[in-house]
Amino acid sequence: MTNTTDAAQTGDTIHVDAAFDSGNIEVLSVSGATAVLALRKDHASEFRQWYHFRVSGAAGRELELKITGLEDSAYPAGWPGFDSCVSEDREYWGRASSTYDKGEQNGTLTIRYTPASDIAWFSYFAPYSMDRHHDLVAEAAASEGVDYRRLGSTLDGQPLDCLSMGDGPLCVWLYCRQHPGESMASWWAEGALECLTDPADTVGRVLRQKCRFHIVPNCNPDGSQRGHLRTNAAGSNLNREWENPTAEASPEVLAIRNAMDEAGVDFAMDVHGDEAIPAVFLAGFEGIPSMTDELYDGFTSYRAILERRTPDFQTAKGYPVSKPGTANLSMSTNQVAERYNAVAMTLEMPFKDNDDAPDPEQGWSPERSRALARDCLAALLEWIEAR
């Protein structure tokens, strides 16, 4: 198995490549404009769902791209009703017509697309490159009143970046992309930083008067660069490491949690994407041992404000609620709520479209992820003022 088609092909055969930042695909066979493909597992892990590859030699030809073996992927329920993301300029990401057949080659997603140009890029969600991440961090760090902090190093030697701003008493943590394949979380972080660093944005300006923000735009740079769905370079699922993080398995979580211990936490949002549920929703901390009515009211009141502020958010669909005393404290939202007596939550965005407000051209998109970030911040401001 390789990440590219080999050279012994006829001139009318497409080429498939994935040897780049966040690339992930294995090429099983190529014939003409048809390719049979498979997903590569995360390193030292059984997780696989993310893909990102390019096809060249494709101009004006109807491509048929078959990604096989998906009944053994991390979330098989993510494939029915899913249309692949596609771009010809790596700026605008639309959707390519895709169908899922559970019975074909142990689950096959068939993507059909006719590009106008010679190269087309396909991805599980619009990728957010490490280069773009560094541009985002550099621009934010250069903004007035923003403090940059390198929280530590990843196992691959990448920096773990944190941006802090604001002079208010409420300590707010926004941290994104513990699961690297959930790239919509990085787009959300971009939208949040745009709001908070724009002097013309009144929501951002007032929030910085009321809060001290600590923002980690990418908690898992190694997994992001390696093209993983869910794990870091050691094969650790970071969102199951918060109770006992270690330098060997989860240095990212250890560094972030240590910084939280130092700064404190009053409000926290952990930003993710969900493979199967075609909606935006929040998950809370219902099962933590120290749950109080006052603490839980902080979560439910914020959720109600966000639902009123944007039609992209809803409360009917989401995860089952934990029973009292049964919360998994290795997960960040539960650990943060329990450890700091903080109003904590997990924000989930869809890989598919948002069925409550569908967009047949783009589905859920980078643009909507960025816009949702500002809605989340505007809801935070209203929540603060109401309390």
Q: Are 121 and 90 in contact (CB under 8 A)?
A: yes
Q: Could you tell me which of 213, 217, 216 has the C-alpha nearest to residue 171?
A: 213
d(CA 308, CA 298): 16
Rg (CA), the chain: 21
The two tokens of residue 340 are: 């700091």
Catalytic-role residue among 91, 182, 348, 367:
348
d(CA 332, CA 257): 9
* Torsion angle (degrees, nearest 10) of CA 156, 272, 110, 65: -30
Outline where DSSP puts E strands in 254-314: 267-274, 281-283
d(CA 340, CA 345): 13
348 carries an active-site annotation:
yes
Outline where DSSP puts E strands in the chain: 15-17, 26-31, 34-38, 52-56, 63-68, 84-87, 94-96, 98-101, 108-113, 119-123, 146-153, 159-165, 170-176, 211-216, 267-274, 281-283, 343-350
Long-range contacts of 151-155 (CB under 8 A, 24+ apart): 151/216, 151/255, 151/256, 151/258, 151/259, 152/251, 152/252, 152/254, 152/255, 153/251, 154/220, 154/221, 154/222, 154/232, 154/233, 154/251, 154/252, 155/222, 155/232, 155/233, 155/234, 155/251
d(CA 275, CA 314): 17
Report, as residue numbers or ranges, the catalytic residues: 348
